[in-house]
């Protein structure tokens, strides 16, 4: 049952519709992009940690079907961190290459019916520095979720034998619970109360 399609939340639906060219100012993804410099980063080790986290969290394997339902893919291909090596080029050429990649990734509108809805790339810079480039569609995670995913990835990177507990609840569980709660008599009563408060303000 956990892999069956389920509805988008209201905010996800707004993000999904807004990325289409149906409205003025549409055609833009709700997309986050970050860069961080990490000295001595072991990219293959990071890649292994990331794949453990992807396997653990259904939302990292989520896509949105053309009918507007989201679904979790039971299995996905190994996620590979693409690496660009700029250690042997001039600083000007390195800056230009990083800027080009930044422009591409920071304005990306990823297709929602294809996995993954995130990008992670690495650039090797002079001085044993690795710059990590992370792009993520906020359809699959909010800020708190990102913090948790980062914490887990760092823990898996630090300890490759770490055993993480099984997840007791998934995002699908939450969405289904919310649908049932809002459709219940108590939910309808609460909804009517807050709607009346809204009209008075």
Q: Which residue has the tokens 């979790």?
A: 72
CB of 152 closer than 8 Å to CB of 96: no
Averaged confidence pLDDT in the chain: 90
The count of other CB atoms within 10 Å of the CB of residue 141 is: 21
Predicted pLDDT of residue 12: 94
* Model pLDDT for residues 23-44, shown as the tens digit of each residue: 665 567 788 899 999 988 999 9
Which parts of the chain are beta strand (E)? Answer: 6-7, 31-39, 62-64, 69-72, 82-85, 118-125, 129-137
Q: What is the pTM of this model?
A: 0.86
pLDDT bracket for residue 2 (50, 70, 90): low
> Which carries the bigger pLDDT value, residue 21 or residue 99?
99
Predicted pLDDT of residue 107: 85
Backbone angles phi, psi at 146, to 5 degrees: -60, -40
Q: Which residue has the tokens 């003025």?
A: 24
Q: Which residue has the tokens 């090596």?
A: 85
H-run or E-run covering 95: helix 91-106
């Amino acid at each position: 049952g956990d892999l069956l399609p389920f509805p988008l939340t209201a905010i996800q639906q707004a993000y999904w519709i807004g990325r289409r060219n149906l409205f003025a100012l549409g055609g833009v993804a709700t997309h986050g992009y970050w860069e961080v410099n990490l000295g001595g980063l072991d990219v293959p080790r990071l890649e292994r940690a990331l794949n453990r986290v992807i396997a653990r969290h259904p939302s990292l394997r989520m896509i949105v079907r053309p009918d507007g339902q989201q679904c979790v893919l039971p299995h996905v291909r190994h996620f590979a961190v693409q690496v660009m090596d700029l250690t042997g080029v001039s600083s000007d050429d390195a800056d230009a290459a990083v800027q080009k990649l930044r422009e591409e990734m920071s304005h990306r509108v990823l297709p929602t019916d294809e996995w993954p809805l995130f990008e992670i790339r690495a650039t090797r810079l002079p001085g044993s520095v690795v710059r990590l480039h992370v792009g993520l569609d906020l359809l699959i995670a909010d800020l708190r979720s990102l913090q948790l995913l980062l914490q887990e990835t760092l823990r898996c990177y630090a300890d490759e034998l770490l055993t993480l507990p099984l997840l007791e609840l998934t995002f699908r569980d939450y969405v289904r619970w919310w649908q049932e709660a809002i459709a219940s008599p108590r939910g309808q009563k609460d909804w009517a109360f807050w709607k009346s408060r809204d009209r008075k303000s």
